[in-house]
Structure 1
Amino acid sequence: MFSTGILVLTSPLHILPLRIAPVLSSAAQLVDRTLYVHLHPGLNLGGGSPPRPVFLPPVVDLSTFITRLYSNAADVCGHLDVRFLLTNIHAHPASSQTPSSPFPSPQPLSHSPEVVLTDFAVQDPHQTRQVTQRLEKYTGCCYVCRPGLSSVLLHPQLQENEDRLKNQGEKSECLETYSDVVVGGTFDRLHGAHKSLLNVSCVLANKRFVIGVCNQAMLKKKVLKELIEPYSLRVQKLKEFLQDSKPSLQVEIVPLDDPFGVSIVDPMLKCIVVSEETKKGGEAVNKKRIENGLQPLVLHEIQLLKDVHHTDIEEEKISSSSLRFRLLGTLLAPPKDTSHLPTLPYVIGLTGGSGSGKTSIAKQLEALGCSSHRLR
């Protein structure tokens, strides 16, 4: 088992939504912590000239695939920190300011890969060694990896209708991109829905990506707000994820003390990324911008990700509040050393909001012989 791996996807982009679930399932049997995903449809590892990374244009199918990737990852390998890499996605590779290769030098990642995996199908078993060598060399040209990088060819079970899609060919319209893109959110316990939002935003943004992160004033009505990670930790995780995803992008993370933040005063912003759930908020931003004499933003809407593992008391979508619910009853921090305190009386404190179960727990403790006292 490896701690960190990188998955090089070579299948056509329009086929990958059907193939990605079994590919992720296979990868999860080999990697147990972080799985980076690098996209290069049509990459030939079998022969001919040495494979080299190329720029890929942002297309609608790419946005669709990103959503499917994180949705499937939450379903089949929820324990993995999956991160889609976007360095080789560029809207205008022919620009004089753009290097000829997406990777003039190997890109360092927050966690150095120990193994590279691929969905590339080897036609001749005798070519396996050649393919793995070419795969390792290709990956080493793109990213800084651990010495002695291992390689594995995955053989996922293909889903029905894949042959039909192969015959259809790939047809995807270009995705419009913008110089400056903005999003807002709490970004507590960074999960697949956050990553999908961030990755799609990175695809849309050519130059600058502004993220408003909810500060204390915006957390008062959140479910189990006491369990929300500190602002500094949420920002740190965002920076690490975005540095891995698209290091060329100018990222600005600002505290969000009201529902609008910089989105209604920054004249350079062009696009705001929303979901079906936050679309009205995006429309409210545009109303404020017009009142402030600014151009309205393009609203780019993305899909919500369904949580197939949700319980009856949790949201159907992947959400931070559901993750906080699942923390109840778990040990959130190691116990403090209390050896210097007397063993008796042993004092237990019960806290929580209305209906959280304090009375029920107190009655169970009383049945075990404990005495209880209410503090008001």
Structure 2
Amino acid sequence: MELDIIRLPLFKSEEMLPVLTKVLPGRARLQLGLPSSMSVFRSGLLVLTSPLSKLSLRLVPILTSAARLVQDTLYIHLQPGLSLTGSTQPRSTYVPATSEVYSLISKLYADAGVHHHLDVRVLLTNILNQGTSPPVLGSVQNLSQPPEVVLTDFETGDGGQSNPVKQRLERYATSCYSCRPNLISVLLYPEYELESSDGDLSPDGDLSPQQETSVKDEPLQSYSDVVVGGTFDRIHNGHKILLSVSCMLAENRLLLGVSDKDLLENKLLKELILPFEQRVTQLNEFLVDIKPSLLYEIFPLFDYFGPSITDPDLKCIVVSKETLKGGLAVNKKRVENGLSELALHTIKLAIDPQHASYEEEKISSSSMRCRLLGTLLRPPRKGLFPPPHLYVIGLTGGSGSGKSSIAQHLVRLGAFHVDMDHLGHDIYMPGGPVYEQVVEAFGTDILKEDGTINRQALGAKVFGDKEQLRMLNNIMWPVMAQMAKEKIEEAAAQGKSVCILDGAVLLEAGWTDLVNEVWTVIIPEDEAIKRIVARDGISEEAARLRLQSQMPNSQRVKQSHVVLCTMWEPEVTCELTEKAWALLQKRLKAK
């Protein structure tokens, strides 16, 4: 058996390391001599040559093969019918924008969802909508992540890695897109199933005659100016379907409204939504990558309408089934403003087959944010104090957040617990380290008959008086920090590997110097108020005032390494806490 040797780049410490890899010929998948889960190229270009009628059922094995090789960005170029054999060098040609292409692109993004590491981008440069005069294809398009490898589903008769075919593939890729120097080419030979259980595939992998006749291939209506809106938080495959369809419909200009400020208030886990500028940057990069010929106008959306009800040049608005009412409201406003109604193009929601019980069924940004819970959001800090072999987690959260339940579960998992709130209560006792200072600063009228400090009376003096509160904190916090150090040293002496420093004012008090990571527990304000009222027997207004006197969740999250939420059933809280603990253990082993 003759083997080709391909030099594949691996990346380690920003350095390219050559690896000799053997390719097994025949209709078998590419054998890399590496674990199947290992990807070796940061970016790749996948050229799909199968006929559209066959491609839909081939996407899953094709994407699976490509995902073994590419670890970050995978560009996809549709060129059905492209031949890489023969004497002439193939060139890119236009593919008409039809309902079949539209459905294929939607399915492609949906199928790519199982490959979480891949940022898939279907390129639309050669997808021609019916209202556009086709310019001559030939100029090289710049891509934000130039491909290091070009892949294809094209197959040779002998099932091998033919050098002439690969050379044509490389020349084809570099004639269309900016690629990295020393571009590598690979013929994938995915493992197609010969026949599905319901007979959709014939023995050679084709669609059955019944299914072929059911595929409608109608031209996709296009419009000069199109508008679409959304939060666009962390561009996911659902967004990509929406944006790709919008780009296919638009001939000249695409307006994009990006929700901000008040429109974010009711979003799930709003504290984890990326800043507006960052969302716009990601959105713009994706759009310019997939279709650079369009004019893009991106604007902040502070209400549900934006310029969609005032721009006279707009012709079409793209909505989903759940935002269709919003599209109808836009048209009502346009009529009131003396403008023509927009064509409503409604897309189907993409279902997320891997959604958890507490996540949305559709692919959504809310679900993406849920999956961030318990994960490391930024690199750990090097604690200035923690002893060697002890890792300190600073656990914090507002009143009613459920921080205590998280702390209790972490203790059950093996952590040493330092309850800073309890320490704060103890130091008020007569003979305690701050007793005399507090009485001297705030007067004897804060004492009970037995000489102990009346915490309610003290609280009444400092509540609403920032200067008095600052004075009390300056007395309390340094002493509590010293007591925390002693407790941390006690944990180290007991041989513990993880210590939880549990404090509601961890961030305000500046105790972050004592910890390696900050973990914050958040909860929507309305839910926190309900919990406080039920727990403490106070009014809703009093509970709201208490929360408003504390650091807001958004500010806590900005300083946090890990975020958790307790708004679901206790079982979900335990599940998220165990997820965070398991990921922490991996980090500790990797140290």
TM-score above 0.5: yes
Aligned to 2:489: none
Aligned pair 1:99/2:135, yes or no? Answer: yes
Aligned pair 1:19/2:58, yes or no? Answer: yes
1:40 aligns with one of 67, 74, 79:
79
Aligned to 1:175: 220
User: Which residue identity is paired with 1:137?
Assistant: R
User: Which residue identity is paired with 2:181?
Assistant: P
CA deviations on 1:283-327 (whole Å, 9 max, x unpaired) are 111111111111111111111111111111111111111111111
1:190 aligns with one of 203, 226, 235:
235
What is the distance in 1 between the residues matched to 2:58 and 2:221?
A: 26
CA deviations on 1:170-198 (whole Å, 9 max, x unpaired) are 86111110111111000111100001111
What is the distance in 1 between the residues matched to 2:127 and 2:355?
A: 33
What is the distance in 2 between the residues matched to 1:286 and 1:44?
A: 47
What is the distance in 2 between the residues matched to 1:308 and 1:238?
A: 25
- Judge conservation of contact 1:15–1:166 (CA < 8 Å) in 2: no
Shift of 1:366: 8.1
Aligned pair 1:130/2:168, yes or no? Answer: no
Shift of 1:372: 4.1
Deviates more, 1:136-145 or 1:11-20: 11-20
What is the SS of the residue equivalent to 1:82?
A: strand
Aligned to 2:264: 219
1:165 aligns with one of 191, 198, 207:
207
After TM superposition, the structure 1 = structure 2 runs for residues 1-80 of structure 1, keeping only pairs within 5 Å, are 1-75=40-114, 77-80=115-118
CA deviations on 1:123-176 (whole Å, 9 max, x unpaired) are 245782221111111111000111111111111222433445276488611111
Shift of 1:335: 3.3
Aligned to 2:305: 260
CA deviations on 1:229-257 (whole Å, 9 max, x unpaired) are 00000000001001100001000000000
Shift of 1:99: 2.6
Change (3 A) 1:317 1:92: closer
Q: Which has the larger radius of gyration?
A: 2
Deviates more, 1:30-39 or 1:160-169: 160-169
Aligned to 2:419: 371
Aligned pair 1:359/2:409, yes or no? Answer: no
Deviates more, 1:83-92 or 1:191-200: 83-92
What is the distance in 2 between the residues matched to 1:84 and 1:318?
A: 18
Aligned to 2:523: none
CA deviations on 1:83-133 (whole Å, 9 max, x unpaired) are 0101111225983xx4322x3x21110011011000112124578222111
What is the SS of the residue equivalent to 1:280?
A: helix
What is the distance in 1 between the residues matched to 2:398 and 2:60?
A: 39
* Structure 1: gaps of 5 or more residues: none
What is the SS of the residue equivalent to 2:96?
A: coil
Change (3 A) 1:143 1:347: closer
Count of residue pairs the alignment pairs up: 368
Aligned to 1:319: 364
Shift of 1:33: 0.7
Aligned pair 1:89/2:127, yes or no? Answer: yes
What is the distance in 2 between the residues matched to 1:237 and 1:323?
A: 15
Aligned to 1:272: 317
What is the SS of the residue equivalent to 1:370?
A: strand
What is the distance in 2 between the residues matched to 1:121 and 1:80?
A: 24
Misfit runs of 4+, over 3 Å? 92-95, 124-127, 166-171, 335-338, 340-343, 346-349, 362-369
User: Which residue identity is paired with 1:165?
Assistant: L
- Judge conservation of contact 2:46–2:150 (CA < 8 Å) in 1: yes
State the Cα RMSD in Å.
Answer: 2.5
- Judge conservation of contact 2:132–2:251 (CA < 8 Å) in 1: no
- Judge conservation of contact 1:366–1:372 (CA < 8 Å) in 2: no
What is the distance in 2 between the residues matched to 1:42 and 1:198?
A: 26
- Judge conservation of contact 1:67–1:303 (CA < 8 Å) in 2: no
After TM superposition, the structure 1 = structure 2 runs for residues 328-347 of structure 1, keeping only pairs within 5 Å, are 328-336=373-381, 339=384
* Structure 2: gaps of 5 or more residues: 1-39, 422-503, 506-545, 547-591
What is the distance in 2 between the residues matched to 1:89 and 1:259?
A: 31
Q: What fraction of aligned residue pairs are identical, expressed as a percent?
A: 54
- Judge conservation of contact 2:131–2:223 (CA < 8 Å) in 1: no
User: Which residue identity is paired with 2:207?
Assistant: L
Change (3 A) 1:304 1:46: same
- Judge conservation of contact 2:131–2:251 (CA < 8 Å) in 1: no
Change (3 A) 1:350 1:66: same
Higher RCO (CA-CA < 8 Å; seq separation 6+): 1
- Judge conservation of contact 2:334–2:341 (CA < 8 Å) in 1: yes
- Judge conservation of contact 2:159–2:189 (CA < 8 Å) in 1: no
What is the distance in 2 between the residues matched to 1:262 and 1:74?
A: 33
- Judge conservation of contact 1:55–1:93 (CA < 8 Å) in 2: no
What is the SS of the residue equivalent to 2:372?
A: coil
What is the distance in 1 between the residues matched to 2:417 and 2:89?
A: 74
- Judge conservation of contact 1:15–1:162 (CA < 8 Å) in 2: no
Shift of 1:362: 4.1
What is the SS of the residue equivalent to 1:151?
A: strand
